[in-house]
């Protein structure tokens, strides 16, 4: 699973900066960023934050999107509220089958760039938050699905997304050990050389198979993890830089 992330403006702009177009970057910062919740030191998907995503229709210039995919067939706000918290993540193995995701899996894929993500470790009845990030300190490119939904009452068009997940690697198996969840999960992190392939159109079964082949665990040896401040409850400090600082829990054996 992936419900908690860190996303700096620098990480979110990584793909847009690859061509070195300063005018485009300035336009993004002036016209798009004010409509997001950036910078994000910590946010939960259940807060439905607004971030930047790179879609297959606009692969190099980002769009503002809300975390929590809303399929086009949702009828009204009531149905949206019932569904929204269940579409923060999309299980990679079934994205071409599940009603909430199959249209987006075929036609609307996207990338979400973040600094890292948080997972909770269970030890002796308590949970301890870990921050996971790339060992080389480069932003992560999450594979995602996106959808546009028009509110029939107001006419507002809402751009939304979901983060695709896959089987957890060895590090996630150690960190993400929730006994109530069958098997560890992790976000689908794409190596930079495969990001463009995730956005390629699918027109037949061979194209779908090519997408499915991208759904695999990121190498454990390329990631690092450390414990951080509490992300839930009274001790939670909120979306502040300090939330990401390393914290030692003396009672934790890991």
| Domains in the chain with CATH codes | 4-120+137-220 (3.90.1680.10)
pLDDT digits (tens, 9 = 90+) for 213-224: 999 999 999 999
pLDDT digits (tens, 9 = 90+) for 21-33: 899 999 999 999 9
Model pLDDT, residue 145: 98
Q: How many CB atoms lie within 10 A of CB 110?
A: 28
If pLDDT is split at 50, 70 and 90, which confidence band does 183 have? confident
Model pLDDT, residue 182: 78
Tell me what the mean pLDDT of segment 195-212 comes to: 96
Model pLDDT, residue 118: 98
Two structure tokens written together for 219: 């190498």
If pLDDT is split at 50, 70 and 90, which confidence band does 254 have? confident
CA distances from 199 to 54, 56, 107, 108, 110 (A): 9, 5, 9, 8, 6
Report the length, in residues, of the chain: 254
């Amino acid at each position: 699973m992936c419900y908690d992330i860190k996303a700096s403006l620098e990480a979110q702009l990584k793909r847009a900066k690859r061509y070195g177009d300063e005018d485009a970057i300035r336009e993004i910062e002036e016209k798009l960023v004010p409509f997001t919740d950036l910078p994000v030191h910590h946010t939960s998907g259940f807060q439905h934050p607004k971030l930047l995503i790179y879609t297959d229709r606009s692969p190099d210039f980002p769009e503002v999107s809300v975390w929590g995919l809303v399929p086009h067939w949702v009828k009204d706000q009531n149905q949206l509220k019932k569904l929204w918290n269940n579409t923060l993540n999309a299980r990679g193995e079934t994205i071409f089958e599940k009603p909430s995701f199959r249209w987006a899996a075929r036609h609307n894929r996207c990338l979400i760039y973040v600094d890292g993500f948080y997972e909770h470790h269970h030890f002796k009845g308590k949970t301890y938050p870990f921050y996971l990030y790339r060992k080389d300190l480069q932003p992560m490119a999450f594979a995602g699905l996106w959808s546009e939904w028009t509110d029939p009452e107001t006419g507002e068009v809402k751009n939304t997304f979901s983060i695709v997940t896959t089987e957890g690697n060895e590090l996630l198996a150690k960190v993400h050990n929730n006994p109530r969840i069958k098997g560890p999960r992790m976000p689908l992190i794409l190596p930079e050389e495969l990001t463009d392939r995730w956005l390629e159109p699918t027109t037949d079964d061979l194209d779908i198979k090519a997408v499915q082949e991208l759904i695999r665990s990121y190498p454990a040896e390329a990631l690092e993890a450390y414990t951080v401040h509490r992300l839930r409850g009274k001790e939670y400090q909120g979306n502040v830089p300090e939330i990401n600082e390393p914290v030692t829990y003396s009672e934790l054996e890991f």
